[in-house]
Structure 1
């Protein structure tokens, strides 16, 4: 169902929904020309070069200690040797995570440290051997060497040949001066030799070198991307541990949000309705004292108290609506979002396509998400029109708020979108912001259905 709310307006200029005015970074040269000189390219190239010697040492130590430990399992000595090999791999894994953090800008969380149940040496050995993280570190040590050899060879060959060919006209004089030939020998047999020494050949060699120089950074980035996958997949915490950490963090967000809501409700009650009721009680007490001496003044005071009662009741209704609106409980998202849209300062079109209702908790989060987004449109967007779309996809509830405001909305700018993202993340939700400078802004929220 689609419904339009809000005042009419004649200005339909699209200018984007925004919360910040950070102009995008502009570069004079395209990315293809900048890539050979960017710090990222040289960092990743250095990472690939360092990977070979490190992998050789890691592979040699791990394969030696592991085979020695497995071979001596017939005796008790094999168990601590194998545990030591796994611990050594974990130590190298910490170094590899630090190297990836510094050169690849890949931040991989450290896995949980190994702790024995009793704290003794045997307990620690058992914990190391039972840890899946330790065995993944050993797998990384074994798999990374062949990949490091390949990446080292490819990156160094392309990079060195590219720059050498590009600068060939600058150092071609070395051959006639020192070797006695006209240049690099391209072909030769008993009766014929071809050297790169003519102006055309020098130019063609330099052009080929330029092509290699421009292509090699993207080859290096592709090779480094494989390293990123290996480091994050084999040297990070397990999925279960990551999920537990996320749930603990989400629980903290939920607790903090609930505490903040309780403080807000307490503040609103203390500063609003409670203060008015106290003043009302005092006014009624004064009116009671004047009832016999000055009935007219008492009547005026009772009339003023009656007005205060109405204001207090309205504040309590607003507070109750902020906690959980009755229209949401009674009639669902369609009616509740329509009520929000009618209070927005710009015309809002609401379209809700739901055959059934989700869980009450998810429905409440969806309501307050749209409410906050429409408040942002009213306060910051400078928009003339907005729309709200709600639909279900498989087991996910989808919300989308679009406006034609000034753009620039950014989750990382410290706006209310950051807090909204945390709230959605606490229930396995996702918030996606698409808000280029100049607009339009499209913010999509995805929530689990849990009907």
Structure 2
């Protein structure tokens, strides 16, 4: 019986909420997160980021304003252009520093933007490339926008931490006021007739409690403010979406070209070592049979009969080769019939269930077919399973494939392995492969492809 997958089950399996997708159980700690935050290294890294942002952004803001003002005033002459290009290059250098600060203190890994490349050598080509680069202008925009925000975050962070720590520790140092200042404590209110000091035990305890609350809240306040910094760093100092997409497409194109070349080599090898060699031997046998036809008709008949058997084997090899290129049943009847045919040829009993109301694009359908075919081959060769299931369904604009077996498990996407190659093929069409295979099994491999119907 085919495994039933409702929407909840499928979403849970694919997104990996279970432990099989590498989720780690958090270590038990003695303090809850709200109380533990001021003691964690992350809070002090983020505070250090805020403290460093103020002087750095101030210096860069002054430089950027001076540079843009000078270059704008001198644009009527040629001098303004190299000044502007040099200023933009300096802003890109500041961006390098900011990305390193974000990686080290905020744990935000921002990729470097596209490099400046002139079509020809020389300073003029370099200046033109800098001025035409969108990343250069995004770095300048970051320099101008980050200054007022860094002033605000610096003020808020220093105020919260300073007042919080001062109030929290006030019961320890309030004795300074009566000894050295001649007052009862910190003055809350005062006029010509009345003055109010924090000096009673209840007031000391209340001040310490307020300070504790402020210290506990300060890391979260700073963390919330730094969300804007994270967005600014990733949005303005990293590569643009277009550049990232171009890079991905170039990588995917390389994968597609390599895969196509490997497939052509495989087809050539199969033809050379299989059907071609068999047909050459068949031609030689038929030539010998022709020579013996007059001398020994019985021997010639036996040779023709053997050649007839060889023809059948050669035809079967050619059919298998054609099925490996693109099976006719997939073109004529779709995934349901094609996957059922694969399941019937698998050495492990396989139950296939395809829940599709329409057919996806032919290219996606072909990739889905060969993905399931390769996964079932892995089940036959390596899993030591006694049964397997194949489920196919559509989720919004994605085609979902899931192959499950009850084998020994331990499958992984290792470099140079079959699953790694399959991952690259799926990635070339914006697909995803998720492997859940704990030691001892079971193994569940889920593939996601764009629908493109």
TM-score range for the pair, normalised by the shorter chain length: 0.7 to 0.9
Structure 2 distance, partners of 1:376, 1:164, is: 65
Structure 2 distance, partners of 1:439, 1:185, is: 69
Q: CA deviation at 1:117?
A: 4.0
Higher-RCO chain (CA-CA 8 Å, sequence separation at least 6): 1
Which runs of 5 or more residues in structure 2 are unaligned? 4-12
Match of 2:9 in 1: none
TM-score (norm 1): 0.76
User: Is the deviation greater in 47-56 or in 372-381?
Assistant: 372-381
Q: CA deviation at 1:141?
A: 1.1
Which runs of 5 or more residues in structure 1 are unaligned? 6-14
Structure 1 distance, partners of 2:186, 2:406, is: 62
User: 1:373–1:401: 8 Å Cα contact kept in structure 2?
Assistant: no
Structure 2 distance, partners of 1:184, 1:414, is: 70
Q: CA deviation at 1:22?
A: 5.8
Counterparts in 2 of 1:441 and 1:196: CA distance versus 1, 3 Å:
farther
Q: CA deviation at 1:134?
A: 2.0
1:241 aligned residue (227, 240, 243): 243
Is it true that 1:331 corresponds to 2:333 in the alignment?
yes
Match of 2:422 in 1: 420
Is it true that 1:57 corresponds to 2:59 in the alignment?
yes
After superposition, the C-alpha distances for 1:138-181 in whole angstroms (9 at most, x for unaligned) are: 11111110111112222333334444444555555555665555
User: 2:335–2:354: 8 Å Cα contact kept in structure 1?
Assistant: no
After superposition, the C-alpha distances for 1:209-255 in whole angstroms (9 at most, x for unaligned) are: 44444433333333332222212221223333322222211111112
* CA-atom RMSD in angstroms: 4.5
Match of 1:153 in 2: 155
Match of 1:228 in 2: 230
User: 2:187–2:195: 8 Å Cα contact kept in structure 1?
Assistant: no
Is it true that 1:79 corresponds to 2:81 in the alignment?
yes
2:448 aligned residue (429, 434, 445): 445
Is it true that 1:399 corresponds to 2:400 in the alignment?
yes
Q: CA deviation at 1:370?
A: 3.2
Structure 2 distance, partners of 1:343, 1:213, is: 67
Structure 1 distance, partners of 2:389, 2:410, is: 16
Structure 2 distance, partners of 1:423, 1:155, is: 48
User: Is the deviation greater in 244-253 or in 180-189?
Assistant: 180-189
User: 2:431–2:449: 8 Å Cα contact kept in structure 1?
Assistant: yes
Match of 1:430 in 2: 431
Counterparts in 2 of 1:36 and 1:416: CA distance versus 1, 3 Å:
farther
SS at 1:112 equivalent: coil
Match of 1:252 in 2: 254
Structure 1 distance, partners of 2:253, 2:233, is: 28
1:91 aligned residue (87, 93, 103): 93
TM-score (norm 2): 0.76
Structure 2 distance, partners of 1:31, 1:442, is: 35
Counterparts in 2 of 1:229 and 1:282: CA distance versus 1, 3 Å:
same
Counterparts in 2 of 1:439 and 1:75: CA distance versus 1, 3 Å:
same
Structure 2 distance, partners of 1:206, 1:380, is: 63
Match of 1:348 in 2: 351
Structure 1 distance, partners of 2:352, 2:236, is: 48
After superposition, the C-alpha distances for 1:384-425 in whole angstroms (9 at most, x for unaligned) are: 6645133374xx442242648699987689875543332223
User: Is the deviation greater in 381-390 or in 66-75?
Assistant: 381-390
